[in-house]
Amino acid sequence: MIATHYTYWIIFALMMIGLYAVMSHGNLVKKLIGLNIFQVAVFMFFISLGRVDGGSPPIITEGIEVYSHPLPHVLILTAIVVGVATTSVGVAIAIRIYEAYGTVEEDNALARDAAEEGTQ
Amino acid sequence: MSTFDLAEAVLLGILIVTAVAITRARSLFVAAMLGGLFSLVTASLFVLLDAVDVALTEAAVGAGISTVLFITALALTNSREATTPRRRVIPAGLVAVLATAGLVYASFDLPGVGDPDSPVQTHPITDTYLRESQEDLHVPNTVTGVLASYRGYDTLGEVVVIFTAGIGVLLLMLGPRRPADEVKDRAYLQTEYRVLRVVSKTLMPFILLFALYVLLHGEYSPGGGFQAGVIFGAGFILYTLMFGLAAVQRVLPMRTLVVLVAVGVLIYAGVGVATMALGGGFLDYNEFNPGNPSGGQVAGILLIEVGVGVTVAAVMVAMFYSLVRRGVRR
């Protein structure tokens, strides 16, 4: 069990370290970095599902019979590029928040909103 | 323990240590750089897991583009993080531990890694993608074949998502800003280190040539439009970091980039419309060469890969330009 499944367990631990960073940290840029860790761990999980013992990369070559499954590779390589595109939307929003509030700390921004509501 | 297991265990160990270090680092600059390391180690792991195409993409995106993206974000915001209050740490830690336990419990139902009898390997689609594709497409790299032909609709959707994200960043970053406190036209992100300037200038043609090779040879070796697009984008981002926005904009102005972002998607969708005009279905490349369907497939795949490459490269560079420009004008 341990020999065949430890890869999954380490990947799950990585996912949850990423999720922990998203939940516990108030800094928006740090949240995005945590989200990135979570995302990469999910990619690893997909790729590990497609692997087969003694297999080769799925590029058909004469004399090789066993290949890993190409479909997870297809899904993940597009997801990586989509991931960086969406991450940069997040980064752009964080920069706009900084320009509006002077901070990227969630707590400070919320406190400022609360203070402004109080004065009105 | 085989060499594979040993190498995999070492890489996974490095990843765990790096991930913990990232969450603990108070300096966001350190966290961003460690994020680059994390992605590079992941890319090595992908090679080990037989996913060479994915490794190529992850190395260019994770270690290159997203690291630069985060560091640019730090330059425009704050590079130090406030300490995390205890009231946030405990519940978040509890959720993470419980979720890990739940996932590990669920994993007992998964087939082992590399199990040849797992549903993934025994499903009939595996045979279609690995064996029948050689009759249908004559494209040895099955990843490219599946991406561009069997799942061509899906990939079109992905390209449109990248297009939309690129437009989103441009709208957020190029829009009007609050009155600037002080106008600084400093040479943004430029470096004075001569070694770096000479090395990056020498590398530039090879990076671009390699991107073209990855694009055009993607049917036979690891590569394709996504990989080529991010390598091309990373090359231009490197050049911008070294020589500044003004120098790179003489070659590739923002106006051209914005057009290219749309041109790639139009090439992709245009191929689909062309196959319909020829009497086939949307993205049915056989119509390009009815006498020799696999020849038509090779042509169609290459065309849409070019479209993907153009949009991906243009979006990556345009996003970076718009972030840097915001910094220069502030």
* pLDDT tens-digit series, residues A41-97: 999 999 999 999 888 999 999 888 899 999 999 999 999 999 999 999 999 999 999
Q: What residue in A sits closest to B330 (Cα-Cα)?
A: A99
Q: Does B321 touch chain A (CB under 8 A)?
A: no
Report A:47-76 residues touching B (Cβ under 8 A): 47-53, 55-61, 66-74, 76
- Whether B179 has a pLDDT exceeding 60, the answer reads no
In 3-state terms, what secondary structure has residue A34? helix
Token pair 């680092």: residue: B25
CB contacts < 8 A (A, B): 300
Which residues does chain A have within 8 Å of residue B120's beta carbon, measured at their own beta carbons? 49-50, 69, 72
Is A22's pLDDT higher than 90?
yes
Please tell me whether residue B82 adopts helix, strand or coil conformation: coil
The pLDDT of residue B78 is 82
Estimate to the nearest angstrom the gap between the alpha carbon of B168 and the chain centroid: 17
Report residue A27: phi and psi, to 5°: -80, 125
Yes or no, beta carbons of A83 and B172 under 8 Å apart: no
pLDDT at B154: 92
pLDDT of A74 = 95
B173 touches chain A (CB under 8 A): yes
Q: Are A5 and B112 in contact (CB under 8 A)?
A: yes
With a threshold of 0.90, tell me whether the complex ipTM lies above it.
yes
| Cα–Cα distance for residue pair B76/B169, rounded to 1 Å | 15
- The residues, ordered by sequence, that sit 6+ positions from B277 with a Cβ below 8 Å of its Cβ are none
Best residue of B100, B133, B174, B265 to probe chain A, by most A CBs closer than 10 Å: B100
Grouping H, G, I as helix, E, B as strand and the rest as coil, residue B30 is helix
Q: Which one of A29, A55, A74 has the shortest CB-CB distance to B73? A: A29
Q: How confident is the model at residue A118 (pLDDT cuts 50, 70, 90)?
A: confident
A95/B142 CB distance under 8 A: no
What CA–CA distance (Å, rounded) separates B160 from B291? 32
Identify the pLDDT of residue B183. Answer: 39
Burial of B168 (0-12, 13-18, 19+ CB in 10 A): middle
CA distances from residue B143 to A64, A67, B219, B226 in whole angstroms, order as listed: 16, 11, 9, 12
Give me the percent of chain B exceeding a pLDDT of 70: 94
Say yes or no: A46 contacts chain B, CB-CB below 8 A. no
- The pLDDT value given to residue B187: 47
Q: What is the DSSP letter of B141?
A: B
DSSP letters, B195-228, are: HHHHHHHHHHHHHHHHHHHHHHTTTTSS--HHHH
The Cα–Cα gap between B302 and B288 comes to: 12
pLDDT tens-digit readout, B69-99 = 999 889 888 888 888 888 888 999 999 999 9
- Tell me the pTM: 0.91
B226 and chain A in contact, CB less than 8 A: yes
Looking at residue B329, its pLDDT comes to: 55
**Per-residue pLDDT at A120 exceeds 70:** no
What lies within 8 Å, CB to CB, of B106 at 6+ separation is none
Residue B197 touches chain A, beta carbons under 8 Å? no
> Nearest-CA neighbor of B23 among A78, A71, A61, A16?
A16
Per-residue pLDDT, B294: 85
- pLDDT for B184 equals 44
Is residue B186 over pLDDT 60?
Answer: no
Does B121 contact A19 at a Cβ distance shorter than 8 Å? no
| Phi, psi of B5, deg, nearest 5 | -60, -40
Structure tokens given for A89: 């939307």
Structure tokens at B60: 């260019």
Q: What is the pLDDT of residues A38-50, one digit of tens each?
A: 999 999 999 999 9
Which residue among B66, B151, B326 sits closest to A87, beta carbon to beta carbon?
A: B66
If pLDDT is split at 50, 70 and 90, which confidence band does B174 have? confident
Identity at A30, one-letter amino acid code: K
Higher pLDDT, B293 or B30: B30
- Residue A7 clears pLDDT 70, i.e. is over it: yes
| H/E segment holding residue B222 | none
Whether B190 has a pLDDT exceeding 60, the answer reads: no
Q: What is the pLDDT of residue B245?
A: 85
At residue B1, the pLDDT reads 64
What's the CATH fold of domain A2-53+66-119? Answer: Helix Hairpins (1.10.287)
- A 13-42: CB under 8 A from B: 13-21, 23-27, 29-30, 32-34, 36-37, 40
Q: What is the pLDDT of residues B229-268, one digit of tens each?
A: 999 999 999 998 888 888 888 989 999 999 999 999 999 9
Dump pLDDT digits (tens) for B127-151: 889 988 888 888 999 999 999 999 9
Q: What is the mean pLDDT of chain B?
A: 89
Q: Residue B76's pLDDT is what?
A: 86
More confident residue, B183 or B11: B11
